Amino acid sequence: MTDSAPEKTRWAAWLDARFRSPAAIYGLIVFAAFVTISSDHSHDAWGLLNTAVWTLLVFFIAHVFAETLTAHGERGLRASIAHAVAHAAGMLYAAVPGTIVLIVCGINGVSVDDAYEATMWVTWVVLAILGYVAYWRRGAHIAIRLLGALGTAALGLSIVLLEYAVH
């Protein structure tokens, strides 16, 4: 096996469409930001999940609305909505890892602080993987990939904390 990035498989294309799109990365950041914001007033993991999911859904709907409105004149309403939903779907897919963590935490009665921390770790790992893959695809040396992964994860979580500070 070579150290360079392989040809894109169907599985890789599927993952890219759902987790490596700008909308997906934005959704991941928004979800983590609202978990962070709701950690100040939620009483359990279910509260964190409730706030983050509903807020992300509102952002998703706003994104679909904006995409539909801008393309409606050229594509027609149905085609514009279908395109907008497909384009924004990554926002929802990106929330899946954090949602799973919060569900597991809720089922197990984990404290809000621990559920929040677990969600941030999952977010950090997903961002790190995205950074690593980006550098891997560029053919970067393993050390650069690892630094890129750390930098990507750190920058992503910095944006989450900035969002928290603003709210």
Task: State pLDDT tens for residues 69-119.
Answer: 998 888 899 999 999 999 899 999 989 999 999 999 999 999 999 999 999
Q: Which of 3, 40, 20, 7 is nearest to 152 (CA)?
A: 20
Segments in 76-111 forming alpha helices (H): 77-93, 96-107
Instruction: Specify if 71 maps to a domain.
Output: yes
Q: What is the mean pLDDT of residues 134-138?
A: 90
Evaluate whether residue 161 is within a structural domain.
yes
3-30 pLDDT, tens digit each = 555 567 888 777 777 778 888 889 999 9
Number of domains making up the chain: 1
pLDDT tens, residue by residue, 108-120: 999 999 999 999 9
Contact residues for 120 (Cβ-Cβ < 8 A; gap 6+): 32, 35, 36, 157, 160
Residue 90 lies in a domain: yes
Domain that holds residue 160: 10-166
Longest dimension (CA), the chain: 50
- Give this prediction's pTM: 0.83
Q: What would the two tokens of residue 4 be?
A: 């360079």
> Residue 49 falls within a domain, yes or no?
yes
Residue 3 lies in a domain: no
Residue 145 lies in a domain: yes
Q: Is residue 45 part of a domain?
A: yes
Quick check: is 4 in a domain?
no
- pLDDT at site 6: 53
